[in-house]
Structure 1
Protein backbone atom coordinates (compact mmCIF):
# COMPACT_ATOMS: atom_id res chain seq x y z
CA UNK A 1 0.00 0.00 0.00
CA UNK A 2 2.96 2.29 0.50
CA UNK A 3 2.13 5.70 1.96
CA UNK A 4 -1.38 5.90 0.50
CA UNK A 5 -4.55 5.36 2.54
CA UNK A 6 -5.77 2.40 0.47
CA UNK A 7 -4.45 -0.24 -1.90
CA UNK A 8 -5.69 -0.03 -5.50
CA UNK A 9 -3.08 -2.25 -7.19
CA UNK A 10 -3.66 -5.93 -7.94
CA UNK A 11 -1.50 -8.68 -9.41
CA UNK A 12 -2.53 -11.85 -11.24
CA UNK A 13 -0.30 -14.93 -11.59
CA UNK A 14 -1.54 -17.91 -13.61
CA UNK A 15 1.19 -20.30 -14.83
CA UNK A 16 -0.12 -22.73 -17.48
CA UNK A 17 -3.43 -20.88 -17.67
CA UNK A 18 -4.12 -22.23 -21.17
CA UNK A 19 -2.64 -24.36 -23.97
CA UNK A 20 -1.65 -22.77 -27.27
CA UNK A 21 -2.38 -24.24 -30.72
CA UNK A 22 0.70 -26.47 -30.85
CA UNK A 23 0.01 -27.95 -27.42
CA UNK A 24 2.48 -25.67 -25.62
CA UNK A 25 1.50 -24.26 -22.20
CA UNK A 26 1.06 -20.49 -21.94
CA UNK A 27 1.80 -18.63 -18.72
CA UNK A 28 0.00 -15.43 -17.65
CA UNK A 29 1.29 -12.66 -15.37
CA UNK A 30 -0.27 -9.23 -14.87
CA UNK A 31 0.00 -6.05 -12.81
CA UNK A 32 -2.95 -3.66 -12.62
CA UNK A 33 -2.79 -0.19 -11.02
CA UNK A 34 -6.23 1.17 -10.17
CA UNK A 35 -7.15 4.86 -10.26
CA UNK A 36 -10.15 6.48 -8.61
CA UNK A 37 -10.91 3.22 -6.80
CA UNK A 38 -9.93 -0.47 -6.79
CA UNK A 39 -12.88 -1.66 -8.90
CA UNK A 40 -11.31 -2.01 -12.36
CA UNK A 41 -8.00 -3.35 -11.04
CA UNK A 42 -9.96 -5.99 -9.10
CA UNK A 43 -11.93 -6.82 -12.25
CA UNK A 44 -8.65 -7.32 -14.14
CA UNK A 45 -7.29 -9.61 -11.41
CA UNK A 46 -10.40 -11.76 -11.37
CA UNK A 47 -11.32 -11.92 -15.05
CA UNK A 48 -8.55 -10.82 -17.44
CA UNK A 49 -6.85 -14.24 -17.60
CA UNK A 50 -10.16 -16.07 -18.09
CA UNK A 51 -11.28 -13.72 -20.86
CA UNK A 52 -7.85 -13.96 -22.51
CA UNK A 53 -7.99 -17.77 -22.41
CA UNK A 54 -11.31 -17.62 -24.30
CA UNK A 55 -9.91 -15.21 -26.89
CA UNK A 56 -6.74 -17.26 -27.35
CA UNK A 57 -8.85 -20.37 -28.01
CA UNK A 58 -10.66 -18.49 -30.79
CA UNK A 59 -7.39 -17.05 -32.11
CA UNK A 60 -5.78 -20.51 -32.14
CA UNK A 61 -8.48 -21.80 -34.51
CA UNK A 62 -7.86 -18.90 -36.87
CA UNK A 63 -4.09 -19.41 -36.67
CA UNK A 64 -4.37 -23.12 -37.49
CA UNK A 65 -6.49 -22.26 -40.52
CA UNK A 66 -3.83 -19.79 -41.77
CA UNK A 67 -0.63 -21.16 -40.26
CA UNK A 68 1.16 -21.14 -43.63
CA UNK A 69 0.83 -17.35 -43.84
CA UNK A 70 3.80 -15.30 -42.63
CA UNK A 71 3.21 -13.75 -39.20
CA UNK A 72 -0.06 -15.63 -38.63
CA UNK A 73 0.84 -16.70 -35.10
CA UNK A 74 1.87 -13.24 -33.94
CA UNK A 75 -1.29 -11.74 -35.46
CA UNK A 76 -3.35 -14.27 -33.53
CA UNK A 77 -1.69 -13.32 -30.24
CA UNK A 78 -2.11 -9.59 -30.89
CA UNK A 79 -5.77 -10.01 -31.82
CA UNK A 80 -6.52 -12.06 -28.72
CA UNK A 81 -4.87 -9.52 -26.42
CA UNK A 82 -6.55 -6.51 -28.03
CA UNK A 83 -9.98 -8.17 -27.88
CA UNK A 84 -9.44 -9.17 -24.25
CA UNK A 85 -8.51 -5.65 -23.18
CA UNK A 86 -11.57 -4.31 -25.01
CA UNK A 87 -13.87 -6.83 -23.30
CA UNK A 88 -12.55 -5.95 -19.84
CA UNK A 89 -12.89 -2.25 -20.65
CA UNK A 90 -16.53 -2.79 -21.62
CA UNK A 91 -17.20 -4.47 -18.25
CA UNK A 92 -15.41 -1.77 -16.25
CA UNK A 93 -18.34 0.62 -15.61
CA UNK A 94 -20.26 -2.15 -13.81
CA UNK A 95 -17.28 -3.49 -11.82
CA UNK A 96 -17.39 -3.93 -8.07
CA UNK A 97 -14.36 -3.54 -5.80
CA UNK A 98 -14.26 -7.33 -5.34
CA UNK A 99 -13.85 -7.87 -9.11
CA UNK A 100 -17.44 -9.00 -9.68
CA UNK A 101 -19.55 -7.41 -12.42
CA UNK A 102 -23.04 -6.36 -11.36
CA UNK A 103 -25.87 -7.57 -13.59
CA UNK A 104 -29.49 -6.48 -13.84
CA UNK A 105 -30.63 -9.96 -12.80
CA UNK A 106 -28.40 -10.22 -9.73
CA UNK A 107 -28.39 -6.59 -8.68
CA UNK A 108 -25.56 -4.73 -6.96
CA UNK A 109 -22.90 -6.64 -5.07
CA UNK A 110 -23.27 -6.80 -1.29
CA UNK A 111 -19.59 -6.26 -0.51
CA UNK A 112 -18.74 -3.08 1.50
CA UNK A 113 -16.95 -1.40 -1.42
CA UNK A 114 -19.61 -2.10 -4.02
CA UNK A 115 -19.84 0.58 -6.68
CA UNK A 116 -23.61 0.71 -6.48
CA UNK A 117 -23.68 2.61 -9.77
CA UNK A 118 -21.70 2.96 -12.97
CA UNK A 119 -18.01 3.60 -12.26
CA UNK A 120 -17.38 6.16 -14.98
CA UNK A 121 -14.38 7.76 -13.27
CA UNK A 122 -12.63 4.56 -12.11
CA UNK A 123 -9.96 2.83 -14.17
CA UNK A 124 -6.75 0.84 -14.14
CA UNK A 125 -3.50 0.32 -15.97
CA UNK A 126 -2.77 -3.17 -17.28
CA UNK A 127 0.58 -4.70 -18.12
CA UNK A 128 0.25 -8.38 -19.06
CA UNK A 129 3.04 -10.81 -19.96
CA UNK A 130 2.49 -14.13 -21.70
CA UNK A 131 5.24 -16.75 -21.92
CA UNK A 132 5.02 -19.44 -24.57
CA UNK A 133 7.94 -21.46 -25.99
CA UNK A 134 10.77 -18.98 -26.55
CA UNK A 135 8.54 -15.89 -26.73
CA UNK A 136 7.71 -13.15 -24.23
CA UNK A 137 4.54 -11.33 -25.29
CA UNK A 138 3.79 -8.09 -23.42
CA UNK A 139 0.62 -6.02 -23.72
CA UNK A 140 0.63 -2.65 -21.98
CA UNK A 141 -2.07 -0.08 -21.35
CA UNK A 142 -0.99 2.78 -19.07
CA UNK A 143 2.19 3.47 -17.11
CA UNK A 144 2.86 0.16 -15.40
CA UNK A 145 5.92 -1.40 -17.04
CA UNK A 146 7.62 -4.63 -18.10
CA UNK A 147 11.43 -4.83 -18.08
CA UNK A 148 13.59 -7.79 -19.08
CA UNK A 149 16.88 -8.50 -17.30
CA UNK A 150 19.19 -9.74 -20.08
CA UNK A 151 22.82 -10.25 -19.18
CA UNK A 152 23.83 -7.01 -17.48
CA UNK A 153 21.28 -4.99 -19.45
CA UNK A 154 17.76 -3.82 -18.71
CA UNK A 155 15.53 -4.17 -21.78
CA UNK A 156 12.16 -2.36 -21.59
CA UNK A 157 9.39 -4.45 -23.15
CA UNK A 158 6.79 -1.69 -22.80
CA UNK A 159 6.73 2.08 -23.13
CA UNK A 160 4.78 4.21 -20.64
CA UNK A 161 1.76 5.86 -22.24
CA UNK A 162 1.95 9.39 -20.85
CA UNK A 163 -0.19 12.28 -22.16
CA UNK A 164 2.88 14.32 -23.16
CA UNK A 165 4.36 11.54 -25.28
CA UNK A 166 4.28 13.23 -28.70
CA UNK A 167 2.31 10.53 -30.50
CA UNK A 168 -0.15 10.18 -27.62
CA UNK A 169 -0.65 13.94 -27.32
CA UNK A 170 -1.36 14.15 -31.06
CA UNK A 171 -3.90 11.32 -30.76
CA UNK A 172 -5.63 12.96 -27.77
CA UNK A 173 -5.90 16.31 -29.53
CA UNK A 174 -7.19 14.64 -32.71
CA UNK A 175 -9.95 13.10 -30.57
CA UNK A 176 -10.96 16.55 -29.38
CA UNK A 177 -9.23 16.42 -26.01
CA UNK A 178 -6.54 18.47 -24.33
CA UNK A 179 -3.47 17.73 -22.25
CA UNK A 180 -3.28 20.12 -19.29
CA UNK A 181 -0.21 20.42 -17.09
CA UNK A 182 -1.57 20.21 -13.54
CA UNK A 183 1.01 18.53 -11.32
CA UNK A 184 2.34 16.97 -14.52
CA UNK A 185 0.67 16.30 -17.88
CA UNK A 186 -2.90 14.99 -17.57
CA UNK A 187 -5.74 14.22 -19.97
CA UNK A 188 -8.28 17.04 -19.38
CA UNK A 189 -6.19 17.86 -16.32
CA UNK A 190 -7.39 14.63 -14.66
CA UNK A 191 -5.57 11.44 -15.67
CA UNK A 192 -1.76 11.17 -15.74
CA UNK A 193 -1.75 8.50 -18.46
CA UNK A 194 -3.17 8.43 -21.98
CA UNK A 195 -4.39 4.81 -22.08
CA UNK A 196 -6.17 2.75 -19.45
CA UNK A 197 -9.03 0.34 -18.87
CA UNK A 198 -12.18 2.05 -17.63
CA UNK A 199 -12.32 5.85 -17.15
CA UNK A 200 -15.49 6.04 -19.23
CA UNK A 201 -15.79 9.76 -18.47
CA UNK A 202 -12.52 10.45 -20.31
CA UNK A 203 -13.34 8.64 -23.55
CA UNK A 204 -12.61 8.95 -26.45
CA UNK A 205 -9.29 10.54 -25.46
CA UNK A 206 -8.32 7.70 -23.10
CA UNK A 207 -8.35 4.41 -25.00
CA UNK A 208 -7.92 0.78 -23.94
CA UNK A 209 -5.95 -0.45 -26.98
CA UNK A 210 -2.72 -2.03 -25.67
CA UNK A 211 0.70 -1.62 -27.22
CA UNK A 212 2.10 -5.11 -27.77
CA UNK A 213 5.69 -6.32 -28.05
CA UNK A 214 6.88 -9.84 -28.88
CA UNK A 215 10.42 -10.71 -27.83
CA UNK A 216 12.48 -13.83 -28.55
CA UNK A 217 14.06 -15.15 -25.37
CA UNK A 218 17.83 -15.47 -25.06
CA UNK A 219 20.09 -17.68 -22.97
CA UNK A 220 21.23 -14.48 -21.24
CA UNK A 221 17.73 -13.70 -19.91
CA UNK A 222 17.54 -13.86 -16.11
CA UNK A 223 14.10 -12.59 -15.19
CA UNK A 224 11.18 -10.42 -16.21
CA UNK A 225 9.95 -7.63 -13.92
CA UNK A 226 6.38 -6.33 -14.07
CA UNK A 227 5.54 -3.45 -11.75
CA UNK A 228 3.26 -0.49 -11.19
CA UNK A 229 4.61 3.05 -11.38
CA UNK A 230 5.08 3.07 -7.61
CA UNK A 231 8.30 1.17 -8.34
CA UNK A 232 9.38 2.84 -11.58
CA UNK A 233 8.92 6.41 -10.28
CA UNK A 234 11.59 5.66 -7.67
CA UNK A 235 13.92 3.12 -9.33
CA UNK A 236 15.44 2.99 -12.81
CA UNK A 237 15.04 -0.02 -15.09
CA UNK A 238 18.73 -0.82 -14.74
CA UNK A 239 18.76 -0.60 -10.93
CA UNK A 240 15.67 -2.82 -10.66
CA UNK A 241 17.27 -5.47 -12.88
CA UNK A 242 20.54 -5.32 -10.93
CA UNK A 243 18.68 -5.86 -7.65
CA UNK A 244 16.54 -8.70 -9.02
CA UNK A 245 19.53 -10.45 -10.58
CA UNK A 246 21.57 -10.20 -7.35
CA UNK A 247 18.65 -11.49 -5.25
CA UNK A 248 18.22 -14.39 -7.63
CA UNK A 249 21.93 -15.29 -7.55
CA UNK A 250 22.07 -15.00 -3.76
CA UNK A 251 18.91 -17.08 -3.43
CA UNK A 252 20.28 -19.87 -5.59
CA UNK A 253 23.41 -20.03 -3.43
CA UNK A 254 21.34 -19.96 -0.23
CA UNK A 255 19.07 -22.78 -1.41
CA UNK A 256 22.06 -24.85 -2.54
CA UNK A 257 23.68 -24.35 0.88
CA UNK A 258 20.44 -25.30 2.65
CA UNK A 259 20.08 -28.42 0.50
CA UNK A 260 23.67 -29.41 1.32
CA UNK A 261 23.06 -28.86 5.05
CA UNK A 262 19.87 -30.93 4.93
CA UNK A 263 21.71 -33.78 3.21
CA UNK A 264 24.48 -33.63 5.78
CA UNK A 265 21.92 -33.82 8.61
CA UNK A 266 20.16 -36.76 6.99
CA UNK A 267 23.49 -38.58 6.54
CA UNK A 268 24.29 -38.13 10.23
CA UNK A 269 20.77 -39.08 11.33
CA UNK A 270 19.85 -35.53 12.38
CA UNK A 271 16.87 -33.38 11.43
CA UNK A 272 16.76 -30.55 8.89
CA UNK A 273 18.35 -27.37 10.32
CA UNK A 274 15.82 -24.60 10.93
CA UNK A 275 12.93 -26.75 9.67
CA UNK A 276 12.06 -24.52 6.72
CA UNK A 277 13.06 -23.86 3.13
CA UNK A 278 14.56 -20.52 2.05
CA UNK A 279 12.19 -18.07 0.36
CA UNK A 280 12.05 -18.51 -3.44
CA UNK A 281 14.59 -16.08 -4.97
CA UNK A 282 12.11 -14.22 -7.20
CA UNK A 283 9.63 -13.71 -4.37
CA UNK A 284 12.46 -12.34 -2.27
CA UNK A 285 13.54 -10.07 -5.17
CA UNK A 286 10.02 -8.65 -5.52
CA UNK A 287 9.86 -7.86 -1.80
CA UNK A 288 13.30 -6.25 -1.83
CA UNK A 289 12.37 -4.07 -4.82
CA UNK A 290 9.17 -2.88 -3.13
CA UNK A 291 11.01 -2.02 0.09
CA UNK A 292 13.78 -0.27 -1.82
CA UNK A 293 11.24 1.88 -3.68
CA UNK A 294 9.74 2.93 -0.35
CA UNK A 295 13.19 3.82 0.95
CA UNK A 296 13.79 5.89 -2.21
CA UNK A 297 10.69 7.96 -1.49
CA UNK A 298 7.88 6.34 -3.45
CA UNK A 299 4.52 7.52 -2.10
CA UNK A 300 2.36 5.37 -4.37
CA UNK A 301 1.01 1.84 -4.14
CA UNK A 302 3.80 -0.54 -5.19
CA UNK A 303 3.24 -3.91 -6.86
CA UNK A 304 6.09 -6.02 -8.24
CA UNK A 305 6.19 -9.40 -9.98
CA UNK A 306 9.55 -11.03 -10.74
CA UNK A 307 9.48 -14.04 -13.08
CA UNK A 308 12.42 -16.44 -13.24
CA UNK A 309 12.83 -17.13 -16.94
CA UNK A 310 15.20 -20.02 -16.28
CA UNK A 311 12.40 -22.11 -14.78
CA UNK A 312 9.44 -20.87 -16.86
CA UNK A 313 9.48 -22.95 -20.03
Structure 2
Protein backbone atom coordinates (compact mmCIF):
# COMPACT_ATOMS: atom_id res chain seq x y z
CA UNK A 1 0.00 0.00 0.00
CA UNK A 2 1.27 3.45 -0.95
CA UNK A 3 1.40 6.01 1.86
CA UNK A 4 0.11 9.52 1.16
CA UNK A 5 0.54 12.49 3.49
CA UNK A 6 -1.48 15.60 2.73
CA UNK A 7 0.10 18.68 4.30
CA UNK A 8 -2.31 21.47 5.24
CA UNK A 9 -1.73 25.10 6.20
CA UNK A 10 -4.15 27.77 7.35
CA UNK A 11 -6.22 29.05 4.43
CA UNK A 12 -5.92 26.03 2.13
CA UNK A 13 -8.64 25.34 -0.45
CA UNK A 14 -10.82 22.43 0.63
CA UNK A 15 -11.34 21.01 -2.88
CA UNK A 16 -7.60 21.08 -3.57
CA UNK A 17 -7.30 18.54 -0.78
CA UNK A 18 -10.59 16.65 -1.02
CA UNK A 19 -10.60 16.09 -4.80
CA UNK A 20 -7.28 14.27 -5.10
CA UNK A 21 -7.74 12.47 -1.76
CA UNK A 22 -11.09 11.09 -2.93
CA UNK A 23 -9.49 9.86 -6.17
CA UNK A 24 -6.73 8.11 -4.23
CA UNK A 25 -9.27 6.65 -1.81
CA UNK A 26 -11.37 5.32 -4.68
CA UNK A 27 -8.42 3.37 -6.08
CA UNK A 28 -8.80 0.90 -3.22
CA UNK A 29 -12.15 -0.13 -4.75
CA UNK A 30 -10.46 -1.23 -7.97
CA UNK A 31 -8.65 -4.39 -6.94
CA UNK A 32 -5.26 -2.83 -6.14
CA UNK A 33 -3.59 -2.29 -2.75
CA UNK A 34 -4.47 1.39 -2.96
CA UNK A 35 -3.32 4.15 -0.66
CA UNK A 36 -3.19 4.87 3.04
CA UNK A 37 -3.88 8.53 3.74
CA UNK A 38 -2.95 10.80 6.62
CA UNK A 39 -3.64 14.51 6.97
CA UNK A 40 -0.82 16.56 8.47
CA UNK A 41 -0.75 20.02 9.96
CA UNK A 42 1.39 22.21 12.18
CA UNK A 43 -0.04 20.54 15.26
CA UNK A 44 -2.44 17.76 16.16
CA UNK A 45 -5.79 19.51 15.94
CA UNK A 46 -7.75 21.38 13.31
CA UNK A 47 -6.62 23.45 10.33
CA UNK A 48 -9.04 26.01 8.90
CA UNK A 49 -9.61 26.12 5.16
CA UNK A 50 -10.30 29.27 3.16
CA UNK A 51 -14.02 28.45 3.35
CA UNK A 52 -13.96 28.31 7.15
CA UNK A 53 -14.40 24.54 7.30
CA UNK A 54 -11.85 22.78 9.47
CA UNK A 55 -10.02 19.50 8.94
CA UNK A 56 -8.49 17.40 11.68
CA UNK A 57 -4.74 16.86 11.37
CA UNK A 58 -1.86 15.21 13.12
CA UNK A 59 1.39 17.01 13.83
CA UNK A 60 3.68 16.63 10.81
CA UNK A 61 6.52 15.78 13.19
CA UNK A 62 4.70 12.60 14.20
CA UNK A 63 4.41 11.08 10.74
CA UNK A 64 6.14 7.76 10.14
CA UNK A 65 7.04 8.74 6.59
CA UNK A 66 5.26 8.73 3.27
CA UNK A 67 5.63 7.78 -0.38
CA UNK A 68 3.72 10.81 -1.69
CA UNK A 69 3.45 14.25 -0.13
CA UNK A 70 0.43 16.20 -1.40
CA UNK A 71 0.23 19.97 -0.88
CA UNK A 72 -2.99 21.87 -1.72
CA UNK A 73 -3.15 25.53 -2.64
CA UNK A 74 -5.15 28.38 -1.23
CA UNK A 75 -5.13 32.02 -0.21
CA UNK A 76 -3.04 31.01 2.77
CA UNK A 77 0.08 30.99 0.59
CA UNK A 78 -0.11 34.78 0.49
CA UNK A 79 1.04 34.83 4.11
CA UNK A 80 4.39 33.09 4.47
CA UNK A 81 3.86 32.73 8.21
CA UNK A 82 1.22 30.10 7.44
CA UNK A 83 3.75 27.68 6.02
CA UNK A 84 7.37 28.82 6.56
CA UNK A 85 7.80 26.37 9.45
CA UNK A 86 6.73 23.51 7.12
CA UNK A 87 9.47 24.09 4.53
CA UNK A 88 12.23 22.06 6.27
CA UNK A 89 9.84 19.11 6.49
CA UNK A 90 9.02 19.38 2.77
CA UNK A 91 12.73 19.41 1.94
CA UNK A 92 13.37 16.37 4.11
CA UNK A 93 10.58 14.44 2.39
CA UNK A 94 12.12 15.28 -0.98
CA UNK A 95 15.55 14.16 0.21
CA UNK A 96 14.05 10.79 1.15
CA UNK A 97 13.01 10.24 -2.46
CA UNK A 98 9.26 10.65 -2.04
CA UNK A 99 7.02 11.91 -4.80
CA UNK A 100 5.87 15.48 -4.27
CA UNK A 101 2.56 16.78 -5.62
CA UNK A 102 1.06 20.25 -5.43
CA UNK A 103 -2.35 21.53 -6.41
CA UNK A 104 -2.82 25.10 -7.63
CA UNK A 105 -0.80 27.59 -5.54
CA UNK A 106 0.63 24.75 -3.47
CA UNK A 107 3.46 25.04 -6.00
CA UNK A 108 4.60 28.13 -4.08
CA UNK A 109 5.52 25.94 -1.10
CA UNK A 110 7.59 23.67 -3.31
CA UNK A 111 9.23 26.74 -4.82
CA UNK A 112 9.91 28.28 -1.40
CA UNK A 113 11.50 25.00 -0.36
CA UNK A 114 13.88 25.31 -3.31
CA UNK A 115 12.59 22.17 -5.02
CA UNK A 116 11.45 23.66 -8.33
CA UNK A 117 14.65 25.39 -9.41
CA UNK A 118 15.35 24.58 -13.05
CA UNK A 119 12.15 22.53 -13.31
CA UNK A 120 8.89 22.93 -15.19
CA UNK A 121 5.87 23.42 -12.94
CA UNK A 122 2.17 24.08 -13.39
CA UNK A 123 -0.07 26.25 -11.31
CA UNK A 124 -3.40 28.02 -11.77
CA UNK A 125 -3.15 30.46 -14.67
CA UNK A 126 -4.02 33.37 -12.36
CA UNK A 127 -1.00 32.54 -10.19
CA UNK A 128 1.43 31.76 -13.01
CA UNK A 129 2.79 35.27 -13.52
CA UNK A 130 3.46 35.74 -9.79
CA UNK A 131 5.16 32.36 -9.50
CA UNK A 132 7.39 33.20 -12.48
CA UNK A 133 8.17 36.67 -11.10
CA UNK A 134 9.15 35.42 -7.65
CA UNK A 135 11.02 32.36 -8.89
CA UNK A 136 12.55 33.15 -12.30
CA UNK A 137 14.48 29.86 -12.42
CA UNK A 138 11.19 27.93 -12.73
CA UNK A 139 9.71 27.23 -16.15
CA UNK A 140 6.10 28.03 -15.25
CA UNK A 141 3.49 26.24 -17.38
CA UNK A 142 0.21 28.14 -17.34
CA UNK A 143 -1.35 25.96 -20.06
CA UNK A 144 -1.25 22.38 -18.81
CA UNK A 145 -3.64 20.79 -16.35
CA UNK A 146 -0.68 19.12 -14.68
CA UNK A 147 3.03 18.64 -15.20
CA UNK A 148 5.41 15.92 -14.12
CA UNK A 149 9.09 16.78 -13.80
CA UNK A 150 10.98 13.87 -12.28
CA UNK A 151 9.39 12.96 -8.96
CA UNK A 152 7.57 16.29 -8.66
CA UNK A 153 4.02 16.67 -9.94
CA UNK A 154 2.26 20.06 -10.08
CA UNK A 155 -1.24 20.93 -11.26
CA UNK A 156 -3.33 23.90 -12.28
CA UNK A 157 -5.66 23.64 -9.32
CA UNK A 158 -9.21 22.99 -8.16
CA UNK A 159 -10.68 20.19 -10.33
CA UNK A 160 -7.38 19.59 -12.13
CA UNK A 161 -6.12 18.21 -8.84
CA UNK A 162 -8.27 15.19 -9.66
CA UNK A 163 -6.62 14.93 -13.09
CA UNK A 164 -3.27 14.99 -11.30
CA UNK A 165 -4.36 12.24 -8.92
CA UNK A 166 -5.61 10.08 -11.81
CA UNK A 167 -2.26 10.47 -13.56
CA UNK A 168 -0.44 9.45 -10.39
CA UNK A 169 -2.75 6.47 -9.93
CA UNK A 170 -1.98 5.41 -13.50
CA UNK A 171 1.73 5.76 -12.75
CA UNK A 172 1.37 3.58 -9.64
CA UNK A 173 -1.20 0.99 -10.73
CA UNK A 174 -1.66 1.27 -14.48
CA UNK A 175 -4.08 2.77 -16.95
CA UNK A 176 -6.96 0.39 -16.31
CA UNK A 177 -7.06 1.27 -12.60
CA UNK A 178 -7.02 4.98 -13.40
CA UNK A 179 -9.82 4.45 -15.91
CA UNK A 180 -11.94 2.62 -13.36
CA UNK A 181 -11.38 5.33 -10.75
CA UNK A 182 -12.44 7.97 -13.28
CA UNK A 183 -15.62 6.05 -14.04
CA UNK A 184 -16.52 5.78 -10.36
CA UNK A 185 -15.92 9.46 -9.64
CA UNK A 186 -18.60 11.96 -10.67
CA UNK A 187 -17.10 15.43 -10.92
CA UNK A 188 -19.74 18.12 -11.30
CA UNK A 189 -18.33 21.45 -12.48
CA UNK A 190 -20.37 24.28 -13.99
CA UNK A 191 -18.78 24.43 -17.43
CA UNK A 192 -20.43 25.93 -20.49
CA UNK A 193 -22.33 23.58 -22.77
CA UNK A 194 -22.83 20.91 -20.11
CA UNK A 195 -20.03 18.79 -21.58
CA UNK A 196 -19.02 15.49 -20.01
CA UNK A 197 -16.93 15.63 -16.86
CA UNK A 198 -15.06 12.43 -17.81
CA UNK A 199 -11.93 12.41 -19.92
CA UNK A 200 -12.84 11.86 -23.57
CA UNK A 201 -10.14 9.24 -23.78
CA UNK A 202 -11.40 7.39 -20.72
CA UNK A 203 -14.89 7.34 -22.20
CA UNK A 204 -13.69 5.97 -25.53
CA UNK A 205 -11.41 3.20 -24.34
CA UNK A 206 -12.63 0.26 -22.36
CA UNK A 207 -11.92 -3.36 -21.71
CA UNK A 208 -9.17 -5.07 -23.66
CA UNK A 209 -9.57 -4.08 -27.28
CA UNK A 210 -7.01 -3.44 -29.98
CA UNK A 211 -7.99 0.19 -30.50
CA UNK A 212 -7.10 1.42 -26.99
CA UNK A 213 -3.43 1.80 -27.91
CA UNK A 214 -4.31 3.77 -31.04
CA UNK A 215 -6.52 6.18 -29.09
CA UNK A 216 -3.89 6.68 -26.38
CA UNK A 217 -1.29 7.32 -29.07
CA UNK A 218 -3.59 9.69 -30.95
CA UNK A 219 -4.15 11.88 -27.89
CA UNK A 220 -0.39 12.52 -27.76
CA UNK A 221 -0.22 13.35 -31.49
CA UNK A 222 -3.25 15.59 -32.00
CA UNK A 223 -1.34 18.16 -34.07
CA UNK A 224 -0.43 15.50 -36.61
CA UNK A 225 -2.61 14.13 -39.47
CA UNK A 226 -5.02 11.67 -37.88
CA UNK A 227 -7.27 10.85 -40.80
CA UNK A 228 -8.69 7.38 -41.13
CA UNK A 229 -5.96 6.35 -43.59
CA UNK A 230 -3.21 7.07 -41.04
CA UNK A 231 -5.10 5.32 -38.25
CA UNK A 232 -5.85 2.29 -40.40
CA UNK A 233 -2.20 2.02 -41.36
CA UNK A 234 -1.19 2.08 -37.69
CA UNK A 235 -3.71 -0.68 -36.99
CA UNK A 236 -2.40 -2.71 -39.96
CA UNK A 237 -5.88 -2.85 -41.48
CA UNK A 238 -7.45 -1.61 -44.67
CA UNK A 239 -9.44 1.62 -44.34
CA UNK A 240 -12.70 -0.29 -44.78
CA UNK A 241 -11.79 -2.97 -42.22
CA UNK A 242 -10.53 -0.40 -39.75
CA UNK A 243 -13.56 1.86 -40.01
CA UNK A 244 -16.00 -1.01 -39.61
CA UNK A 245 -14.16 -2.66 -36.68
CA UNK A 246 -13.40 0.62 -34.90
CA UNK A 247 -17.00 1.84 -35.10
CA UNK A 248 -18.35 -1.51 -33.90
CA UNK A 249 -15.92 -1.62 -30.95
CA UNK A 250 -15.80 2.02 -29.83
CA UNK A 251 -19.33 2.99 -30.78
CA UNK A 252 -18.52 6.00 -32.95
CA UNK A 253 -16.66 6.56 -36.20
CA UNK A 254 -12.89 7.19 -36.11
CA UNK A 255 -13.18 10.82 -37.25
CA UNK A 256 -15.70 11.55 -34.49
CA UNK A 257 -13.47 9.96 -31.85
CA UNK A 258 -10.48 12.06 -32.93
CA UNK A 259 -12.62 15.19 -32.89
CA UNK A 260 -13.66 14.44 -29.31
CA UNK A 261 -10.02 14.12 -28.26
CA UNK A 262 -9.18 17.40 -29.99
CA UNK A 263 -12.14 19.16 -28.42
CA UNK A 264 -11.11 18.03 -24.95
CA UNK A 265 -7.54 19.17 -25.52
CA UNK A 266 -8.70 22.57 -26.76
CA UNK A 267 -11.23 22.98 -23.96
CA UNK A 268 -8.75 22.19 -21.20
CA UNK A 269 -6.22 24.60 -22.73
CA UNK A 270 -8.83 27.36 -22.67
CA UNK A 271 -9.83 26.49 -19.10
CA UNK A 272 -6.16 26.65 -18.09
CA UNK A 273 -6.01 30.26 -19.32
CA UNK A 274 -4.53 29.98 -22.83
CA UNK A 275 -4.58 33.43 -24.36
CA UNK A 276 -4.14 32.54 -28.05
CA UNK A 277 -7.06 30.64 -29.51
CA UNK A 278 -5.18 30.34 -32.79
CA UNK A 279 -2.41 28.46 -31.00
CA UNK A 280 -4.95 26.27 -29.21
CA UNK A 281 -6.48 25.39 -32.60
CA UNK A 282 -3.07 24.45 -34.02
CA UNK A 283 -1.95 22.45 -30.99
CA UNK A 284 -5.24 20.54 -30.87
CA UNK A 285 -5.06 19.64 -34.54
CA UNK A 286 -7.94 21.74 -35.84
CA UNK A 287 -5.55 23.68 -38.03
CA UNK A 288 -7.37 27.01 -37.74
CA UNK A 289 -9.74 28.76 -35.38
CA UNK A 290 -12.73 28.59 -37.76
CA UNK A 291 -12.67 24.78 -37.80
CA UNK A 292 -12.30 24.72 -34.04
CA UNK A 293 -15.17 27.19 -33.64
CA UNK A 294 -17.53 25.04 -35.71
CA UNK A 295 -16.61 21.95 -33.71
CA UNK A 296 -17.19 23.77 -30.41
CA UNK A 297 -20.62 25.02 -31.46
CA UNK A 298 -21.59 21.59 -32.76
CA UNK A 299 -20.49 19.76 -29.58
CA UNK A 300 -20.72 22.28 -26.73
CA UNK A 301 -23.23 24.80 -28.03
CA UNK A 302 -20.80 27.69 -27.49
CA UNK A 303 -17.84 29.20 -29.31
CA UNK A 304 -14.29 29.02 -27.89
CA UNK A 305 -14.49 32.77 -27.37
CA UNK A 306 -17.70 32.44 -25.36
CA UNK A 307 -16.19 29.66 -23.27
CA UNK A 308 -13.19 31.83 -22.45
CA UNK A 309 -15.47 34.79 -21.70
CA UNK A 310 -17.38 32.57 -19.26
CA UNK A 311 -14.11 31.80 -17.50
CA UNK A 312 -12.93 35.44 -17.62
CA UNK A 313 -16.12 37.52 -17.50
CA UNK A 314 -14.21 40.81 -17.29
CA UNK A 315 -12.55 40.26 -20.65
CA UNK A 316 -14.72 42.70 -22.59
CA UNK A 317 -12.41 42.72 -25.61
CA UNK A 318 -12.96 39.03 -26.15
CA UNK A 319 -16.69 39.50 -25.68
CA UNK A 320 -16.67 42.06 -28.48
CA UNK A 321 -14.66 39.75 -30.74
CA UNK A 322 -17.12 36.92 -30.12
CA UNK A 323 -20.08 39.12 -31.00
CA UNK A 324 -18.42 40.14 -34.28
CA UNK A 325 -17.76 36.50 -35.20
Q: Which has the higher helix share?
A: 2
What TM-score results when the alignment is normalised by the length of structure 2?
A: 0.25
- Richer in strand (by share): 1
Structure with the larger RCO, 1 or 2 (CA within 8 Å, 6+ apart)? 1
TM-score for both structures, normalised by structure 1: 0.26
